[in-house]
Homo-oligomer: A and B are copies of this chain.
Amino acid sequence: MTGTALTPVLAPMAQAEDGYDLWLRYARVEPSRAGVLAAHANAIVASGSSPTLAIATQELQRGIAGMTGTTPALSATVQQGALLLATPASTPSLPVKTDGLGEEGYAIRTIMMDGKAVTLIAANSDIGLLHGAYHWLRLAQSGEKLDNLDIRSAPKIGLRLLNHWDNLNGTVERGYAGQSIWDWWRLPDWKGPRYSDYARANASIGINGTVLNNVNAKADSLTAPYIAKAAALADVFRPYGIKVYLSVKWTAPMELDGLKTADPLDPAVAAWWKAKADEIYKAIPDFGGFLVKANSEGQPGPQDYNRTHADGANMLAAAVKAHGGIVMWRAFVYAHDNPDDRAKQAYSDFKPLDGKFADNVIVQVKNGAIDFQPREPFHPLFGAMPRTPLMMEFQITKEYLGQSTHLTYLGPLFEEVLDADTYAKGKGSTVAKVIDGSLEGHKLTGIAGVANIGVDRDWSGSIFNQADWYAFGRLAWDTSLSAETIAKEWAEMTFSPDPKVVQPVVRMMMGSREAAVDYMTPLGLAHVMDTGHHYGPGPWVSELARPEWNPVYYHKADATGIGFDRTKTGSNAVSQYAAPLAKLFGSVKITPERDLLWFHHVPWDYRLKSGETLWNGLVHHYEAGVNYVADMQTTWASLKPYVDAERYAQTETFLTIQHREALWWRDASIAYFQSVSQRPLPAGSAAPAHDLNWYKAQKFPYAPGHN
């Protein structure tokens, strides 16, 4: 018997590079680099016995073992090449000053000790040491030099939180990475490894809190069984320096215990919340506090009782005050019976309340005045409430930016908002300075990101979506970082420090958000996504009950032109900005073109800076977006030799989807707007593949994330 041998096509093991390890892969490095690493981490010396310190030393061991193949010993004595972890408490004669590092910061310095060169990670607390350990591991993974280190880092923003819009039934509102990672049903008993891996990932980028449940909250999350479940998670997260918070439903006292009212000035209501807070703190002594969505999109709130947001927030704040808790009160409000420009309503509601909030309340403001669009001007509340701490709310999950399958790196979006100048106290009054408290001297500071995390093996629905989680955490820790620096770090750790990989990947990432703006909502357009699921284009939608639910409300395209007039001749939303910006945005000629149609209704034949008409420019923007995706496909294909098969295939597939959908966005948008503008396409531009009715007929009843 003879046979023809088969070509061996051994499938990779299922666990190989499936994305689960995020940026903490600790992949084996080449021998010369391994030698460098080993020489700077041949032993770990740490004093103390806290769970946090154990995590820090284990993470260093795991990382170094992964990269070099050798696990450094834990040693009681210093030797040449050791890593030392020390606090003033453990080591009174600490040779590095820890002033100014706060409770979370750290210093990393190469020092000589007893004639031996060692790397000292110093901090005021074991949590600081953990952050320092992750910093050192980042340097190690990224191929950075490890000698002559002299690093000091401490966060300027106090609360660096993820907001999970996770429901108790396991679904995730606007989640595109599978169900919630909180297995509420089997908590508090079963605590699988995913929880500590979640905490590791967050600690590695400096996130220090997590709001466990959806802002569209169920009262049940405040019942005893669910408090016990939250407490079980808090127990897992605590040694990683991460506190838990809960979103609360305003009418919980009525739903759970039959109170007749939820009026915040009713003593029985205040007493209920006080007792509930006491119950929570008994189970979770370091519970962070409450997040509240009230009087917004159908949620009940204090306005139902003719009280203000401040009345509501302050009543809750009093309930948690004695425990050191805080209340995060969202400014994302708009009302169906308010005929004013939706973009103005949060400012109109909250600006008059400035100075009226208790000192443990922080108002959480979305980055823009509408809702996490591909691009929005920064929210006019930033800089407008000097006596109130304001907290940033970014969306990491990409409800409006391609959901799980579009490569649209959000670093540039976050950076653009943080660097925006409010002019609140003159030039340089950036949004970052508002939220880090430095502009007005606030001590309570915060930034939140709506998580993009689910049970998908890769956590975030795609490998590249992990970069958005990473970037949020890194910017929350240090708003001065550039999106590009962060992309580079992430690519080095996620793929390889090889510049042949890093440079093309960073290049793809850095232009990708602008590409999404181009193929979805160029030149300041917004909220033209199809209804409900917000997946794909729906600029024609006009029949929904509430005017501000309809895309036509936002783009206002008609025979004369397109765009929302927010100048004095329109809604005058520009007046909500500081004078220099009100002037800038108030004039069509000087408004940055990227925000043009956000602030102005502009004739189709208006000349853009390029000299082409608005209509032609609009079409060209759509095309530029599509072309960028095609370029990413080419770039990614060139990386095939350098990327493992599974992660290569996923990105290749998702780029194919993205290109198809970018074309769909272009074609559907052009088909619709052309029906309004009645202009011919510019020379060289292809007609849409289908007629307008075809695009209108596309329905997606099972689109994810829409609960």
A590 within 8 A of B: no
Contacts of A57 in B (CB 8 A): 6, 8
A429 within 8 A of B: no
Chain A: residues with Cβ within 8 Å of the partner, total of: 70
- Smallest beta-carbon distance A404→chain B, Å: 7
Question: Is A6's CB under 8 angstroms from B49's CB?
Answer: yes
A445 within 8 A of B: no
Question: Is A47's CB under 8 angstroms from B192's CB?
Answer: no
- Copy tally for this chain in the complex stands at 2
Question: Is A704's CB under 8 angstroms from B190's CB?
Answer: no
Q: For A58, give its contact among B2, B10, B405, B701 (CB under 8 Å).
A: B10
Question: Is A3's CB under 8 angstroms from B47's CB?
Answer: yes
Q: For A61, give its contact among B10, B71, B185 (CB under 8 Å).
A: B10
Question: Is A45's CB under 8 angstroms from B3's CB?
Answer: yes
A62 within 8 A of B: yes
- Smallest beta-carbon distance A508→chain B, Å: 19
Contacts of A10 in B (CB 8 A): 58, 61-62, 71
Contacts of A86 in B (CB 8 A): 1, 3
Contacts of A656 in B (CB 8 A): 189
A178-B454 Cα distance, complex, nearest whole Å: 11
A90 within 8 A of B: yes
- B interface footprint on A266-277 (CB within 8 Å = 1, 0 otherwise): 000000000000
Q: For A76, give its contact among B2, B11, B71 (CB under 8 Å).
A: B2
Q: For A20, give its contact among B15, B61, B76 (CB under 8 Å).
A: B15
A258 within 8 A of B: no
CB contacts under 8 Å to B, within A391-408, are: 404-405
- Closest Cβ neighbor of A185 among chain B residues: B704
Question: Is A220's CB under 8 angstroms from B702's CB?
Answer: yes
CB contacts under 8 Å to B, within A181-197, are: 184-186, 189-190, 192-194, 196-197
Contacts of A455 in B (CB 8 A): 178-179, 455-456
CB contacts under 8 Å to B, within A59-115, are: 61-62, 71, 74-78, 84, 86, 90-91, 93, 113
Question: Is B702's CB under 8 angstroms from A185's CB?
Answer: yes
Contacts of A179 in B (CB 8 A): 170, 178-179, 455
A613 within 8 A of B: no
Given contacts A455-B179, A657-B189, contact A76 B704 (CB under 8 A): no
- Smallest beta-carbon distance A527→chain B, Å: 22
Question: Is A6's CB under 8 angstroms from B185's CB?
Answer: no
Question: Is A1's CB under 8 angstroms from B84's CB?
Answer: yes
A6, A61, A71, A179 interface centre (most CB from chain B within 10 Å): A6
A650 within 8 A of B: yes
- B interface footprint on A1-32 (CB within 8 Å = 1, 0 otherwise): 11111111111001100101100000000000
- B interface footprint on A525-551 (CB within 8 Å = 1, 0 otherwise): 000000000000000000000000000
- Closest Cβ neighbor of A13 among chain B residues: B62
Contacts of A648 in B (CB 8 A): none
Given contacts A9-B58, A179-B455, contact A653 B702 (CB under 8 A): no
A662 within 8 A of B: no
Question: Is A702's CB under 8 angstroms from B184's CB?
Answer: yes
A7-B55 Cα distance, complex, nearest whole Å: 11
Question: Is A76's CB under 8 angstroms from B3's CB?
Answer: yes
Question: Is B3's CB under 8 angstroms from A646's CB?
Answer: no
A259 within 8 A of B: no
- Smallest beta-carbon distance A7→chain B, Å: 8
- Closest Cβ neighbor of A77 among chain B residues: B2
Question: Is A220's CB under 8 angstroms from B701's CB?
Answer: yes
- Closest Cβ neighbor of A703 among chain B residues: B185
- Closest Cβ neighbor of A50 among chain B residues: B6
- B interface footprint on A489-511 (CB within 8 Å = 1, 0 otherwise): 00000000000000000000000
Q: For A169, give its contact among B84, B186, B405, B702 (CB under 8 Å).
A: B702
A193-B78 Cα distance, complex, nearest whole Å: 47
CB contacts under 8 Å to B, within A633-668, are: 646, 650, 653-654, 656-657
Contacts of A646 in B (CB 8 A): 193
CB contacts under 8 Å to B, within A648-707, are: 650, 653-654, 656-657, 701-704
A53 within 8 A of B: yes
- Closest Cβ neighbor of A118 among chain B residues: B1
- B interface footprint on A462-473 (CB within 8 Å = 1, 0 otherwise): 000000000000
Contacts of A71 in B (CB 8 A): 10
For this complex, 19 residue pairs linking A to B, each with C-beta atoms less than 8 Å apart, are: A1-B45, A1-B47, A1-B84, A2-B47, A2-B76, A3-B76, A3-B84, A6-B57, A8-B61, A10-B62, A11-B58, A14-B21, A14-B193, A168-B701, A168-B702, A170-B179, A185-B702, A185-B703, A190-B657
Extra contacts besides A178-B178, A178-B179 (19): CB < 8 Å: A1-B86, A1-B113, A2-B47, A2-B78, A3-B45, A3-B46, A6-B48, A6-B49, A6-B57, A6-B74, A7-B54, A8-B61, A8-B74, A11-B196, A14-B194, A179-B179, A190-B653, A190-B657, A455-B455
Residues of A within 8 A of B (CB): 1-11, 14-15, 18, 20-21, 45-49, 53-54, 57-58, 61-62, 71, 74-78, 84, 86, 90-91, 93, 113, 168-170, 178-179, 184-186, 189-190, 192-194, 196-197, 220, 404-405, 455-457, 646, 650, 653-654, 656-657, 701-704
